[in-house]
Amino acid sequence: MNQLDSLKQFTTVVADTGDFRQLAAYQPQDATTNPSLILKAVQKPEYRPLLDETVARFKGKALDEVVDRLLVRFGTEILSIIPGRVSTEVDARLSFDEEATYSRGERLIELYEGAGVHIDRVLIKVAATWEGIRAAERLERRGIRTNLTLLFSFAQAVACAAAGVQLISPFVGRIYDWHKKTAGSAWDEAARSGAHDPGVQSVRRIYEHYKHFGIRTEVMGASFRNIGQITALAGCDLLTISPELLAQLAASEAPLQRALDPEAAKSIALDAVEYDEAGFRYAHNEDAMATEKLAEGIRAFAVDAAKLDALLLA
């Protein structure tokens, strides 16, 4: 049994890509997309017709609506291949606007339903800012499931759980990147790999907190740099993995054991944590890595969203 098949025994495997032609080879349950992945896909010759068809069909509509229709077009194509759910992201430029985020989430679901997709097969992906979490809480009350992304701090995870969101996506690789860059020449790759990787440790802390307190929100590790990070999180509810790393897992027959166990988490001594808005903002601000990576992530997704706008206008 290869490592990918072994991982599927413990964890729901999710493909992280806009390149849906790659999905069938790895048979993931779910799939996630983001602005950068969709931008990358539409610049390939095999996907350019989807962009051109969407522009032609909805000529004269507001640009933001055409963008959402393109995202939904990709999402429906993905759902024709996988059995589970697809995550579709709200424009990152709305990350600090609760009302606009809520409205765009509603519209994305309406577009999916118009395409014949059941609401249960879609997760609306929202940046885990305070405003994003509040918008997600409102969407959840409407029966619209959400995936809170760009999650780097424990405070974000606690606030998401209190809001009752369906799923969170802590970014393993980007946490690792920050710590490696900050350490500079003092970084010891061997000593900070596997279970000792700072990104892995962040997800483990969140996972154990959720399972200990019976929190129903799903934990989906994301943004991986190597398969060692993935295997160190075997047993996490879900892991969303790039096609390149899925291929590496499929090619390896090294033994893989469960690393995270919900029953074991129940016996750990942990204190309950909760935040109001001021407490959340302060706790998140105290985490330099999380503060920097959240801001950087929003800026990067916003840049790619603007590039996608430009392609649609060209």
Residues marked as catalytic: 125
What distances in angstroms separate CA 66 from CA 58, 98, 108, 109, one per listed residue?
A: 6, 21, 11, 14
How far apart are alpha carbons 274 and 118 in whole angstroms?
34
The rounded distance, in Å, linking the Cα atoms of 232 and 221 is 11
Which pair of structure tokens corresponds to residue 216?
A: 């129903």
DSSP 176-231: HHHHHHHHGGG--TTTTSGGG-HHHHHHHHHHHHHHHTT---EEEEB--SSHHHHH
- Compute the Cα dihedral for 154, 204, 266, 148 and give only its sign: positive
Going by C-alpha positions, the residue among 197, 202, 85 that lies closest to residue 144 is 85
Q: What count of other Cβ atoms lies within 10 Å of the Cβ of residue 151?
A: 31
Gap between the Cα atoms of 259 and 246, Å rounded: 18
